[in-house]
């Protein structure tokens, strides 16, 4: 099985509390994610015990009855094994966001022209932003900002524009008229303001300092999130997800 389609191990320690940041269990939000899979005919990889696997698409979603229907090829050698297992883990991708959810009550339904694999609608979907897979490069005047004190000059307050943002870190623009910063340092109490609703405070690890091609702008500070506070990673994932949707709409 390819690593991308392998389900994440959510219960190795007997609990899934550490995955709370990625859990989506509000019915409206959960159904919205499933409808994106359905409307986009996104490939869904079903994984059952004993190494049984099948790639399909979500054909329909019936919220009233709480059932999902997946396309099914009656001649596929793994189909009956999935039905006999009566459970599976589904893995799918929406751009760089990995979705994972459990399926129960698998049932093969025969129709006049085709058959479908039905299952109970999951109560929980997990969203994982693929680290480093997508970077948002903000445009316009309302660019995200990092507010901090210069690590070498604590009395100097800075508001630095973010050049790009990912689930793993960010890049900041340090103007030429600001004293330089050296790679390897840790910058504490940085206030990240992505928009009016997405703000958090954390520490950054400065990994790279790179000159920008445009003269007079400054240098690029490539930083890694050192510690994300509770709730921040999910906010960050949602912000990146929304940026991806906006980019797709602008390209149409």
Instruction: State pLDDT tens for residues 179-197.
Output: 999 888 999 999 999 988 8
pLDDT category of residue 114 using cuts at 50, 70 and 90:
confident
Specify whether the CB–CB gap between 200 and 206 falls below 8 A: no
The pLDDT of residue 137 is above 80: no
Whole-number pLDDT of residue 162: 92
pLDDT category of residue 230 using cuts at 50, 70 and 90:
confident
Q: How many Cα atoms sit within 13 Å of 35 on the Cβ side?
A: 8
Whole-number pLDDT of residue 16: 42
Instruction: Compute the average pLDDT of residues 129-145.
Output: 66
Q: Which domain CATH number covers 182?
A: 2.40.10.220
pLDDT category of residue 134 using cuts at 50, 70 and 90:
low
Specify whether the CB–CB gap between 67 and 74 falls below 8 A: no
Whole-number pLDDT of residue 7: 60
Distance CA 233, CA 219 (A): 27
Return the bridge partners of 153, or none: 150
Does 52 share its domain with 122?
Answer: yes
Does 22 share its domain with 116?
Answer: yes
228: in domain: yes
Residue 235 has phi, psi (to 5 degrees) of -60, -40
- Count how many residues are written for the chain: 252
Distance CA 105, CA 90 (A): 13
190: in domain: yes
Q: Going by C-beta distance under 8 Å and a sequence separation of 6 or more, which residues neighbour residue 119? A: 67, 68, 70, 88, 103, 104, 105, 106, 107
Domain-ending residue, one of 100, 129, 158: 129
Does 159 share its domain with 111?
Answer: no
Distance CA 92, CA 101 (A): 9
The pLDDT of residue 140 is above 60: no
Query: What share of the chain in percent tops pLDDT 90?
Result: 34
Domain-ending residue, one of 129, 159, 193: 129
Q: Map residue 212 onto helix, strand or coil.
A: coil
């Amino acid at each position: 099985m390819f690593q991308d389609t392998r389900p994440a191990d959510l219960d190795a320690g007997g609990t899934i509390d550490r995955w709370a940041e990625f859990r989506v269990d509000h019915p409206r939000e959960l159904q919205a994610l499933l409808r994106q899979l359905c409307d986009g005919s996104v490939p869904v990889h079903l994984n059952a015990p004993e190494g049984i696997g099948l790639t399909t698409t979500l054909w329909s979603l019936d919220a009233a009855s709480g059932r999902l229907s997946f396309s099914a090829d009656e001649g596929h050698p793994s189909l009956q094994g999935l039905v006999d297992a009566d459970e599976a883990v589904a893995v799918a991708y929406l751009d760089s966001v990995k979705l994972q959810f459990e399926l129960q009550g698998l049932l093969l339904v025969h129709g006049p022209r085709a058959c479908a694999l039905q299952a109970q609608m999951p109560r929980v979907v997990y969203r994982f932003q693929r680290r480093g897979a997508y970077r948002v490069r903000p445009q316009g005047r309302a660019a995200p900002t990092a507010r901090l004190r210069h690590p070498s000059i604590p009395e100097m307050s800075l508001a630095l524009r973010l050049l790009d943002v990912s689930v793993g870190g960010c890049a900041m623009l340090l103007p030429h008229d600001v004293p330089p910063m050296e790679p390897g340092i840790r910058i504490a109490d940085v206030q990240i303001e992505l928009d009016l609703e997405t703000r958090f405070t954390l520490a950054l690890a400065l990994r790279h300092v790179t000159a920008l091609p445009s003269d007079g702008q400054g240098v690029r500070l490539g930083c890694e999130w050192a510690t994300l506070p509770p709730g921040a990673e999910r906010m960050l994932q949602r912000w990146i997800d929304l940026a991806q949707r906006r980019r797709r709409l602008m390209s149409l």
